[in-house]
Amino acid sequence: MAMLEVSNINVSYGNVQALWDVSIHVEEGKIVALLGANGAGKTTLLNTMTGMLKPTSGEVTFKGERIDNLPSDKIIEKGIAYLPEGGRLFPEMTIKENLEMGAYPSTLWKNRKPDLERIYGMFPILDERRSQLSRTMSGGERQMLAMGRALMSNPTMCFFDELSYGLSPKMAQEVFKIVKQLHSEGITVLLVEQNVYQTLEIADYAYVIENGRIVKEGEGHAMLEDDYIKQAYLGV
Amino acid sequence: MELLKRSFFGGKAAKIQFFAIIIAIVVLFFVPNFGSAYLPLFLAWVITYAVMSLAWTLFSGKTGYVSLASAAFYGTGMYVQAALGSNLPIVVSMIIAAAASFGVAFGIGLVTLRLRGVYFTIFTFGLSLFLNKFIHWYEVKFFHTKGHMVLAYDNLTVYYCVLVVFAIFLLVVIPMNKSRFGLALDCIGQNEDSAQHVGVNTTMTKVLAFAVSAAPVGAVGAAMATTIGYVDPDIAFKLLASFMPVLMAIFGGTHSVYGPIVGAIVFYSLQDYLLRELPGAYMIIFGCVMVAVILLMPKGIFGVIDTIIARRKRGFDGEVIGDV
């Protein structure tokens, strides 16, 4: 049984259907990638799995429990952390306050202090700048902060949306290194990316989504060799 | 408990603030003994506006949802007093008024706080107008008259009543700003989607804050109704009661609890003076002051002070004016 199971979900914004009969599963301890162009439905799928959108049909289960009818804070408490596209930080709040918000759900809030120390240990740069406003940080530092905020909830599974977007190649590599490190510590990762090559290099399994439908899936390295992927996403 | 400790005794600044508030309230308690007979009424109005302005800041200042509903909550309080004031002690009717305003705000919030931006503002503006017209219709239909008498109290009693509301509100707001709830409100103001992502139930948080901010406004409305002795819909739901708290808060600055208070003191004093000395020109001068404030100090008086302190600390060279 997969850790995360999405079965045949349909999602609509009003009259416009964004996801059609989408199914994915993520095994514990794996890195799974979700690839696709802008507007393909990647973020919609993430928003559905994190309780921001409700599917019109189908279900999402996490560790065997249905989560598609739960509010976001309950899903976070179950161990899913979500790093939205662009980090989505709170610009006028300090680094410390931004991190604290990562432990907002009530059961986590009480234990936020040790979590804060753990994150400072992971990202020393955040420790040095605790009381700096997040808007004064560079793009890479902001991404670190966003990761730190996501990890505040002690997740067993992380969704990363467009981690490398807007970062320099060097910084992007840095960020992927952190993902690999989290993975080696036992965290299951769902990566949503446009940076197809780098993502497939580290992914165990990958799904390709187009126009709201899953059109292809397979092992990460096998996908790198796939003709369709090569043509459509790698430009070779 | 830990939150209260941190808010009032955590660090030097918090301690100074706590004792300053206590001293200020004690002083305010005795001040009426040393002034003219007009002083308690004057101070009661200043405190009323301070409460309204602080209440506006608590919700709109934090979340960025500009509310023009102050008059609706204030008027609700006045009408509760008109209805119950003759039979109940003023303290009891004030508590009921606070609860009524809380209820109105909660209900309205549930319906409207899914609206964003200017739509919310327009709705809250309409709410005051609606209550005005509705109560007018109700009075004429069922009582065949416009307006109600309110049992009058002496100015000193009213003054103590609003002072107590002010003190309680201040001692609630300061820890609230530092609490998880206050942080969630800040988050909503800065990035509502993101607040949702980290698990904030944004709708409930907004509705609750809106309702909490309405309660003290209802209470002071009830108290002040007794100084007028009569309410009708145009007095209770006067539009100025919606706009003044906003102007005062912007003038003082919405990033601390002192901004709205200072704004209320300065604005009400100015209004009081101009109304007496230059009744014809008062609105013109008022308008000019407001335009100047928005142009010259968009973050209010306390924003200017903050900038000066920050410059001192950084030695004039390090101010980072942020990109986002």
pLDDT band at B11; cut points 50, 70, 90? confident
- Contact (Cβ atoms closer than 8 angstroms) between residue B50 and residue B260: yes
pLDDT band at B42; cut points 50, 70, 90? very high
Per-residue pLDDT tens for A128-187?
Answer: 888 899 989 888 888 899 999 999 999 999 999 988 888 888 888 888 888 999 999 999
pLDDT band at B52; cut points 50, 70, 90? very high
Identify the pLDDT of residue B1: 66
- Contact (Cβ atoms closer than 8 angstroms) between residue A50 and residue B194: no
Mean pLDDT of B204-212: 95
Top-confidence residue, A60 or A85? A60
Mean pLDDT of B221-239: 92
Closest partner residue to A90 among B194, B196, B322, by Cβ? B194
- Beta strand A31-35 with A188-193: parallel, antiparallel or unpaired? parallel
Taking an 8 Å cut-off on Cβ atoms, the answer to whether A101 and B198 are in contact is yes
Mean pLDDT of B62-87: 93
- Beta strand B230-231 with A16-26: parallel, antiparallel or unpaired? unpaired
Identify the pLDDT of residue B201: 92
Mean pLDDT of A107-135: 91
B324 touches chain A (CB under 8 A): yes
Top-confidence residue, B36 or B78? B78
In what helix (H) or strand (E) does residue B149 lie, and over which residues does it extend? strand B148-149
Is pLDDT above 50 for B317? no
Taking an 8 Å cut-off on Cβ atoms, the answer to whether A71 and B201 are in contact is yes
Which among B100, B113, B90 is positioned nearest to B44, based on CA atoms? B90
- DSSP code at position B34: G
Mean pLDDT of B83-88: 90
B320 touches chain A (CB under 8 A): yes
Top-confidence residue, A137 or B6? A137
pLDDT above 90 coverage of chain A, percent: 58
pLDDT band at B29; cut points 50, 70, 90? confident
Identify the pLDDT of residue B318: 44
Identify the pLDDT of residue A220: 84
Identify the pLDDT of residue A221: 85
Task: Tell me if residue A162 falls in helix, strand or coil.
Answer: coil
Nearest chain B alpha carbon to A153:
B198
Write the single-letter amino acid at A89: L
Identify the pLDDT of residue B319: 44
State the best of B197, B313, B320 to mutate against chain A, taking most chain A CBs within 10 Å.
B197
Closest partner residue to A88 among B194, B320, B323, by Cβ? B194
Taking an 8 Å cut-off on Cβ atoms, the answer to whether A101 and B320 are in contact is no
CA distance A73 to chain B (A): 4
- Please, what's the b/e burial string for B273-301 (b: 16 or more CB within 10 A of its CB; e: otherwise)? ebeeeeeeebeeebeebeeebeeebeebb
Is pLDDT above 70 for B321? no
Least confident among A152-161, B15-24, B109-118: B109-118
Identify the pLDDT of residue B68: 93
pLDDT band at B314; cut points 50, 70, 90? low
Beta partners for residue A60, in sequence order: A6
* pLDDT averaged over every residue in chain A: 90
Closest partner residue to B320 among A76, A105, A136, by Cβ? A136
B13 touches chain A (CB under 8 A): no
Q: What are the residue boundaries of the structural domains of chain A, listed by start?
A: 89-138+147-152
Per-residue pLDDT tens for A89-105?
Answer: 999 899 999 999 999 99
In what helix (H) or strand (E) does residue A210 lie, and over which residues does it extend? strand A205-210
Mean pLDDT of B201-221: 95
- Residue B194 with chain A: CB contacts under 8 Å: 84, 88-90
pLDDT above 90 coverage of chain B, percent: 48
Identify the pLDDT of residue B97: 97
pLDDT band at B204; cut points 50, 70, 90? very high
Taking an 8 Å cut-off on Cβ atoms, the answer to whether B198 and A102 are in contact is yes
B1 touches chain A (CB under 8 A): no
pLDDT band at B21; cut points 50, 70, 90? confident
Top-confidence residue, A115 or B305? A115
For A29-145, where are the E strands, in sequence order? 31-35, 57-62, 65-66, 80-83
Per-residue pLDDT tens for A31-78?
Answer: 999 998 888 889 999 999 999 999 999 999 999 999 999 999 999 999
Identify the pLDDT of residue B160: 94
Is pLDDT above 60 for B118? yes
Is pLDDT above 80 for A21? yes
Identify the pLDDT of residue B315: 54
Identify the pLDDT of residue A60: 94
Taking an 8 Å cut-off on Cβ atoms, the answer to whether B199 and A136 are in contact is no
